[in-house]
Structure 1
Amino acid sequence: MTPSTADRPQMLVEEFEELARHAPESARLEFLHGKIGVKPMPDGNHGEIVAWLLKRCMQHRPELFLYPEQGLKVEAYRKGRAKPDGVLVPEGYFVGKGEWSDPAGVLMVVEVTSHDWDADRRDRVEKPDGYAAAGIPVYLLVDRDQNSVTVHADPEGGAYRSVTTRAFGTEIELPDPVGFTLDTAMLKEFAD
């Protein structure tokens, strides 16, 4: 039985990396489930949320840093390429790692939804699958469409076994290895 066209990747991961290397700065490319995706350029509120999270992480875990837009090798066998809005790792972790880093030491990835047609599939389905398959312990989704935060944790067998969602304005636990409680009250200011 031959796989359908939808099951075949659009290109090899090496071809994608070459394409991404030559893409204009205004195009933020990702490669998930064998398909090229373009992340929308962030708006002001998106940037404020990432900056706010960076500050919270530094307050609670000063030995860590939330790096924006760091390329990661994700999915099974590291065949996907993603650029999360934030990647929480020990400071200096990415020195010498190149554009697409192995996620072995990543503690948490963060995505902030953009108001675009592809956010549901990309941020709520493909990214959790890819991050779990890569063994990333925590995936934090700040969902501006739903006015909520979702913590995916405990990856096993390519899926997160624990998924907790809370409305903006409440507290949510970021489990170990992140290990602190996030008060999301300020996110109501950036919800639009």
Structure 2
Amino acid sequence: MSAMTHDYPGQATPPSQEEILLEAFLSLATPEGFRAELIEGEIIVSPPPDGDHEDVIGLLIDQVVLGSATRMQVSGGKGLRLPRGGRCPKSHVIPDATFAPLDRRLFRGAPPWMDPDGVTMVVEVTSGKPIQDRIAKRHCYALAGIPLYLLIDREESRITLFSTPEGDDYTESQSVAFGKPLPLPEPFAFELRTDDFL
């Protein structure tokens, strides 16, 4: 056996680049308030959001909690472990808001990074890297089969609801400019007002 060979009896297969990246990501210690995500094979570390970002999230959550036909549970920091496929390697994302029916108690007892089964809608409000929210996260959420993805695009002053996931994209979308109402389907079943987002 040559001295350059690394095939030893009983030795496990060396980890792949993706496994090494995932291990490095999961061991990251980010500064307080920062958010680390692994999106399409890239580690993204974001600073704490600005006040306008949080204002929009707060206004949205108030409307959903008060207006939905079904009582909803919401998390503003739940890590989702999304499956691999298509253009998306396995990703770990933290949506700005994650909604699920309250009666499912989906977040109770969940690990820091949970599977998205049972999630009804995820929400992203654009900030430092809007292209991640517009494209990369959209594909990953669709691949995970999350029924609804609501993108609040502050740079374009538009809100878009993506629905009917198929493969690694959504087949339907509805978009309105800030100031116009956006109908949300069941289980929400109400018109989301966007005038306060201006």
Q: Does 1:87 align with 2:98?
A: yes
Contact 2:147-2:165 within 8 A present in 1 as well: yes
- With the length of structure 1 as denominator, give the TM-score of the two structures: 0.84
Alpha-carbon distance, 1:171 to partner: 1.1
1:173–1:179 CA contact under 8 A, matched in 2: yes
The CA RMSD measured in Å over matched residues stands at 1.9
* Cα separation, 2, equivalents of 1:10 and 1:168: 41
Alignment of 1:40-189 (within 5 A): 40-61=47-68, 63-76=71-84, 79-91=90-102, 92-114=105-127, 116=128, 118-120=129-131, 122-188=132-198
Higher helix share: 1
**What is the TM-score when the length of structure 2 is the normalising length?**
0.82
Q: Which deviates further from its counterpart, 72-81 or 179-188?
A: 72-81
The 2-side partners of 1:171 and 1:10 are apart by 44
2:73 partner amino acid: F
SS in 2 for 1:176: coil
Question: Gaps spanning 5+ residues in structure 1: where?
Answer: 1-7
2:80 alignment partner AA: L
CA separation of 1:10/1:124 partners in 2, compared to 1, >3 Å: closer, same or farther?
A: farther
Q: Structure 2: which 5+ runs fail to align? A: 1-16
Q: What is the aligned residue count?
A: 176
**Percent identity of the aligned residues?**
37
Which consecutive aligned stretches of 4+ in structure 1 deviate over 4 angstroms post-superposition? none
Q: Distance in 2 between matches of 1:90 and 1:18?
A: 32
- Structure 2 residue matching 1:76: 3-state secondary structure: coil
Structure 1 or 2, whichever has the larger Rg, is 2
SS at match of 1:69: coil
- Deviation of residue 10 (structure 1)? 8.5
